[in-house]
Amino acid sequence: MAPMSGPALLVDPNPTVQRVIAAMLRQQGFDPALAHDDAEAIRLLRDPQRPFALAVVDASAHQNPTLRQLLLQDPRRRHLPVLLISASLRLLHELGPQALPKPFDAAALREAIAQAQRRALAPSSGAVPPSSTRIPISNPTLTSRSPLPRAQDEVSIDPQAPALPEPARLASLARLMLEHLGVRGWYEQEELEEAAKKALEGASAGQDGGPMSQGAPREVLRGVADAVPLGEVMQVLQMQMQTGVLEIRRHQGPEVKVYFQNGLVDLVISRGAGGEFRVGRYLLAEGLIQQDALAEAVEQSQQEGRLLGDVLVERGDIDREQLTLALMKQSSELIYEVLRWKEARYVFFREKSLPRNLDAQLGLPVASLVMEGFRRVDEWRLIEESLSPGLVLLRDEAALDRLGPGRLSKQERAMLEQIDGQRTVEQLLAAVNASSFEGSKILYQFLQSRLVRRRSA
């Protein structure tokens, strides 16, 4: 069955969810016409200039009898594929397998559209296309032009086929399959090889259960930030009151995990994001702990394999409230940072509850975090136009004398003391106990106030 394309009706009352789904439809070759309620959908359906090839409708709007009649009983739309979507457990239970639960990713949407197309064609053709196709998974002749099974098709190993390939070959085959499904670039080659290696080890050990059968978290959403922005994704997770972890990664760069509890940000942690995002820095910046005590606690936490915050509280260096404030600052700053990542990949795993050692219960609302993050993104654009990592700055002593003592904050004085006409901007930011945003903003303000100037080459 050929892939569908053309005009599509999208009915969803939530503007953010609507934008996310519309972006997925455009990626799959559709031109979506947007309706926020059943009345607007009825108007679009009655327009003779709109020959829709697909209708994606929120189940609550579909309860309107007029809309239902236009979609299901009008002879002109007898073969129109209709895909119902919903986040309501009651409606999903009533509609059965023909409904797609929110949230979903592009691959799930593509498969659901294909099923809707088969349902729409079934009455006239008398039969639904076969749902089972057996292929030798290790067939070395499979190329990028070979037909691939759908997600619900049976994939089994042909006993006459050659032995399973090594991880690298199996990973390459998986990459070709993913490209056929429209998910090019979502997995690195190393990730595919690692998954292939584990799959082969499991097959050799006779394990027939995958991660889902072992109670592992379920992946429900995957994408790239330049297609569907991270801010919109996080707002969708809050609106749907999701519990789980959103993993965000830059290409061969840092990784950030955002833990959600009922739609609120419970905790954010990072790997490889740099020292400025470590919880100890926030405690030092607030004067809540001394460097020596922090170093001892870090060493102890590494030896015992425990979280640094728990060790600090147990030692009496800080109390639980101070730790919570530091974690809130750390989590907020990490979200502000990932909102700047244009080429990030993300995946959301739904979980019933979070690991106990990561259940910080910060309860941070997404809307305010995203709003502040976008404000910082705008400020970063201005800052980066004036500052570059290799820029060297000079103090203007005359301007500083006119400013007078006591006009600068503690952080501004600390930065000013580091400016010596030799250090670059990058070195200045590393020398002070401030985030790259806070430090860069101070230097930008110094330049705008003419307290410092650029050193000529």
Average pLDDT of span 133-142: 32
Per-residue confidence band for 131, with pLDDT thresholds at 50, 70 and 90: very low
Sequence-ordered alpha helix ranges (H) in 98-239: 106-125, 167-180, 189-204, 230-239
DSSP structural state of residue 134:
-
Top mean pLDDT of 213-217, 283-287, 334-338, 453-457 is at 334-338
The share of the chain scoring above pLDDT 70, in percent, equals 75
Is the torsion defined by CA of 73, 77, 80, 84 positive or negative?
A: negative
Top mean pLDDT of 198-207, 216-225, 251-260 is at 251-260
Task: Count Cβ atoms below 10 Å from residue 394 Cβ, excluding itself.
Answer: 14
Structure confidence at residue 258 (pLDDT) = 94
Q: Walk across the sheet containing 218-224 and list its strands.
A: 218-224, 345-350, 244-249, 255-261, 264-271
Q: What is the pLDDT of residues 289-342, one digit of tens each?
A: 898 999 999 999 988 888 888 899 999 999 888 888 889 999 999 999 999 888
61: pLDDT strictly greater than 50: yes
The model's pTM is 0.56
**Closest listed residue to residue 331, CA positions, set 362, 357, 307:** 362
Decide which of 212 and 396 is more confident. Answer: 396
Per-residue confidence band for 125, with pLDDT thresholds at 50, 70 and 90: very low
Decide which of 214 and 333 is more confident. Answer: 333
Decide which of 179 and 48 is more confident. Answer: 48
Structure confidence at residue 335 (pLDDT) = 94
Which contacts (CB < 8 Å, 24+ apart) does range 422-430 have? 422/392, 423/392, 424/389, 424/390, 424/391, 424/392, 425/387, 425/388, 425/389, 425/390, 425/391, 425/392, 425/393, 426/389, 426/390, 428/393
Structure confidence at residue 225 (pLDDT) = 86
**Closest listed residue to residue 56, CA positions, set 104, 124, 125, 122:** 104
Average pLDDT of span 223-252: 88
144: pLDDT strictly greater than 60: no
Structure confidence at residue 136 (pLDDT) = 32
277: pLDDT strictly greater than 60: yes
SS (H, E, C) 301-339: HHHHCCCHHHHHHHHCCCCHHHHHHHHHHHHHHHHHHHC
Sequence-ordered alpha helix ranges (H) in 73-152: 89-95, 106-125
Q: What is the pLDDT of residues 335-385, one digit of tens each?
A: 999 998 888 889 999 886 666 656 678 889 998 899 888 888 888 888 988
**Closest listed residue to residue 26, CA positions, set 16, 36, 18:** 18
Structure confidence at residue 95 (pLDDT) = 74
Q: CA separation (Å) from 49 to 44, 90, 179?
A: 9, 36, 34
